[in-house]
């Protein structure tokens, strides 16, 4: 499993939700901040304004994708001075489907329509990865996307299924939302979307050598990795690789390796009934004792104590925050 796939698999919780909404002018809707989620808005037809407190309004047009990695509060409206309806939570909608929001009866005849696709992915904040956490609170992926481009195709397929549901719709929508999430993350790390970012995970993902090394590690986190072996995957010398890794990511390679192994171990301890020996081997330790010692050193509690909490949702932040300095 490559890096992005494994990170998403560990972060994701529950099923993603989405709604296809038809807005009739005049309209304005505030969306509440949703902790533990990554939200999105796609303008399928028409135009609207993105409104955020303390920020300049931004006009969105058909095909634009608005991504909110941390579920930030925002509003959409047909005009800058629109009256905004009470905040709703896109991540708490009752189910997938299509809804229509009529014009306010206080404003005379209805006007133009705007169609949006909104939704959210539920995430476990204590396993948040810098890949997501270092993105800006709001990312706008501008249209037009070329026909045949995966992001555009994913949006169109999802909108069609919400508009005309059929057999297997619930399963298909969940799968399409997963596809959309990956393509949004890919687009967010494109140089054209977020230029610069010389010292960050965005830059690390764009570095072919570092990404090869990261993919190799995430494809087999239980392998007894060394800096020299990771450097081989990056086609770099050990010294050059270690320097480049620290320069872009901010931590030594093995600090990151240990941090992610502990994230994965915590997820396995609290979400599965796998025996301790199997978990130890999965994350690169030859014995339960070595694993328990490393886990306690990094997380401040024993693996058994982490497992007894029952679910990831009950673990204190101190039990999932690495002590080696790797942070999101």
pLDDT tens, residue by residue, 155-165: 888 888 888 88
Phi, psi of 85 (to 5 degrees): -70, 160
Same domain, 29 and 173: yes
Same domain, 10 and 143: yes
**Contacts of residue 318, Cβ cutoff 8 Å, sequence gap at least 6:** 299, 300
Q: Between residues 246 and 311, which one has the greater pLDDT?
A: 246
pLDDT tens, residue by residue, 104-117: 555 444 678 999 99
Of 161, 188, 215, which closes a domain? 188
In this prediction, residue 94 carries a pLDDT of 43
84 part of a folded domain: yes
265 part of a folded domain: yes
In this prediction, residue 206 carries a pLDDT of 87
In this prediction, residue 312 carries a pLDDT of 42
167 part of a folded domain: yes
Same domain, 222 and 283: yes
With the C-alpha atoms ordered 280, 286, 288, 292, is the resulting torsion angle positive or negative?
negative
Residue 203 clears pLDDT 60, i.e. is over it:
yes
In this prediction, residue 148 carries a pLDDT of 56
Same domain, 105 and 209: no
Distances (CA, A) of 77 to 46, 112, 188, 308, 317: 12, 12, 24, 47, 37
Same domain, 114 and 142: yes
Domain count, the chain: 2
Q: For the chain, what's the residue count? A: 328
Of 188, 211, 228, which closes a domain? 188
Give the residue numbers spanning the domain of 169. Answer: 3-188
In this prediction, residue 323 carries a pLDDT of 47
The answer to whether the CB of 105 falls within 8 A of the CB of 133 is: no
In this prediction, residue 101 carries a pLDDT of 63
Same domain, 60 and 124: yes
61-75, 150-164, 273-287: the lowest-pLDDT one: 150-164
Residue 187 clears pLDDT 80, i.e. is over it:
yes
326 part of a folded domain: no
Same domain, 258 and 161: no
Same domain, 177 and 214: no
196 part of a folded domain: no
Greatest mean pLDDT among 41-45, 308-312, 314-318 = 41-45
In this prediction, residue 128 carries a pLDDT of 86
Same domain, 12 and 53: yes
Return the CATH number at 290.
1.10.10.60
- Predicted TM-score of the model (pTM): 0.82
Of 133, 156, 188, which closes a domain? 188
Return the CATH number at 176.
2.60.120.280
126 part of a folded domain: yes
CA 121/CA 99 separation, integer angstroms: 19
In this prediction, residue 199 carries a pLDDT of 60
pLDDT tens, residue by residue, 24-59: 999 999 999 988 899 999 999 999 999 999 999 999
In this prediction, residue 9 carries a pLDDT of 87
Q: Cis before residue 146, ω within 30 degrees of 0?
A: no
Same domain, 125 and 48: yes
Residue 314 clears pLDDT 60, i.e. is over it:
no
β partners of residue 328: none
Same domain, 64 and 177: yes
81 part of a folded domain: yes
In this prediction, residue 86 carries a pLDDT of 82
Q: Between residues 174 and 262, which one has the greater pLDDT?
A: 262
In this prediction, residue 311 carries a pLDDT of 47
193 part of a folded domain: no
Same domain, 100 and 34: yes
In this prediction, residue 143 carries a pLDDT of 75
């Amino acid at each position: 499993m490559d890096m992005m796939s494994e990170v998403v698999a560990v972060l994701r919780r529950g099923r993603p939700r989405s709604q296809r909404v038809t807005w009739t002018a005049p309209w304005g809707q505030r969306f509440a901040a949703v902790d533990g989620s990554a939200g999105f808005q796609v303008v399928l037809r028409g135009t609207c304004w993105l409104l955020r407190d303390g920020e300049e309004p931004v006009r969105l047009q058909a095909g634009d994708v608005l991504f909110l990695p941390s579920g930030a509060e925002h509003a959409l409206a047909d005009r800058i001075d629109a009256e905004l309806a009470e905040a709703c939570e896109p991540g708490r909608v009752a189910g997938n489907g299509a809804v229509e929001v009529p014009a306010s009866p206080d404003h005379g005849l209805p006007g133009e329509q705007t169609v949006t696709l909104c939704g959210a992915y539920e995430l476990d904040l204590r396993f948040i990865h810098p890949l997501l956490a270092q993105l800006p609170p709001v990312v706008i992926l501008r249209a037009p996307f070329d026909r045949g481009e995966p992001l555009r195709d994913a949006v169109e397929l999802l909108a069609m299924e919400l508009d005309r549901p059929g057999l297997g719709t619930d399963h298909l929508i969940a799968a399409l939302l997963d596809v959309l999430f990956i393509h949004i993350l890919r687009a967010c790390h494109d140089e054209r979307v977020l230029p610069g970012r010389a010292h960050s995970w965005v830059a690390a993902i764009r570095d072919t050598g570092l990404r090869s090394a990261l993919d190799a590690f995430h494809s087999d986190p239980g392998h007894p990795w060394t800096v020299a072996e990771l450097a081989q995957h990056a086609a770099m010398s050990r010294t050059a690789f270690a320097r480049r890794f620290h320069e872009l990511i901010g931590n030594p390679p093995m600090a990151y390796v240990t941090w992610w192994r502990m994230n994965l171990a915590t997820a396995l301890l609290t979400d599965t009934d796998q025996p301790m020996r199997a978990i130890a081997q999965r994350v690169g330790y030859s014995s339960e004792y070595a694993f328990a010692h490393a886990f306690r050193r990094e997380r401040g509690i024993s693996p058994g104590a982490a497992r007894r909490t029952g679910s990831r949702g009950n673990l204190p932040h101190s039990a999932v925050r690495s002590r080696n300095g790797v942070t999101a």
